[in-house]
């Protein structure tokens, strides 16, 4: 009987360790990914173009924390959700904090996102957000530089094709280095904490 009790206790202990391990690994995905991508070959300066076709460099905002998001204006779900969360978080900050933050929306659909449409889409989520894009090759280069992906996919939607893309938000420090990666399921407190830590 004692032998069975010992086996049962050991099994319960092993099960507890397994559950604890799963709980520890379930949330810090962003930090694990951050460790894998952070480094000399990741990120850095780039040049794309705003709605007026003027060059915009990451280094133009060297004294600001940049919230960088890759998406497209015709996106039916991920983009409006993520950008709305970023905009809502900025609205909870003080004017002094907001003055130190710049939102950059990189369109991965340069074929459709140009001019006033691009500017209006970015500014819809927060008046300080800037929409930028470039040629397909230029956008691919910046996307690759930041470990993002995107790919056009056929659709029967009235909007035409869709674009599959990464849904992370890159929090970039005032020194131009990756400070944090925010997942698509980020909350407003998550965003506020990440930005304020980078300020």
Across 132-159, b (16+ Cβ under 10 Å) vs e yields bbbeeeebeebbeebbbebebeeeeeee
What is this structure's pTM? 0.79
So what's the pLDDT on residue 42?
Answer: 77
So what's the pLDDT on residue 164?
Answer: 95
Give the DSSP per-residue string, 137-194.
Answer: HHHHHHHHHTT--EEEE---STT--EEEE---EEEE-TTSSEEEEE-TT--HHHHHHH
**From first to last of its 199 residues, what are the pLDDT tens digits of the chain?**
544 444 444 444 444 433 333 333 333 334 434 434 444 467 999 999 999 999 999 999 999 999 999 999 999 999 999 999 999 999 999 999 999 999 999 999 999 999 999 999 999 999 999 999 999 999 999 999 999 999 998 776 666 899 999 999 999 999 999 999 999 999 999 999 999 999 9
What are the E-state strand segments in the chain?
47-49, 55-57, 65-71, 101-107, 130-132, 150-153, 162-165, 169-172, 178-182
So what's the pLDDT on residue 160?
Answer: 81
Q: In this structure, are residues 50 and 134 in contact, taking their beta carbons and an 8 Å threshold?
A: no
Please tell me the distance from the alpha carbon of residue 49 to that of residue 114, in angstroms, as a whole number.
Answer: 10
So what's the pLDDT on residue 156?
Answer: 65
β-pairing verdict for 65-71 and 169-172: antiparallel
Burial of 102 (0-12, 13-18, 19+ CB in 10 A): buried
So what's the pLDDT on residue 154?
Answer: 79
Nearest Cα to 104, choosing from 178, 37, 171? 171
């Amino acid at each position: 009987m004692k032998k069975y009790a010992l086996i049962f206790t050991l099994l319960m202990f092993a099960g507890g360790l397994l559950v604890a391990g799963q709980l520890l690994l379930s949330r810090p995905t962003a930090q694990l990914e951050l460790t894998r991508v952070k480094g000399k070959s990741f990120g850095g300066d780039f040049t794309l173009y705003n709605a007026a076709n003027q060059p915009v460099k990451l280094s133009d905002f060297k004294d600001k924390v940049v919230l960088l998001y890759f998406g497209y204006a015709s996106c039916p779900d991920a983009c409006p959700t993520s950008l709305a969360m970023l905009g809502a978080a900025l609205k909870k900050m003080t004017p002094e904090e907001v003055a130190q933050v710049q939102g950059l929306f990189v369109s991965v659909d340069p074929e459709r996102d140009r001019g006033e449409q691009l500017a209006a889409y970015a500014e819809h989520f927060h008046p300080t957000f800037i929409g930028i894009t470039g040629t397909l090759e230029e956008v691919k280069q910046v996307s690759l530089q930041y470990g993002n992906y995107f790919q056009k996919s056929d659709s029967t939607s009235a909007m035409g094709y869709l674009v599959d893309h990464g849904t992370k938000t890159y929090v970039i420090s005032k020194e131009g280095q990756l400070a944090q990666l925010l997942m698509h399921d980020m909350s407003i407190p998550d965003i506020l904490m990440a930005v304020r830590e980078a300020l």
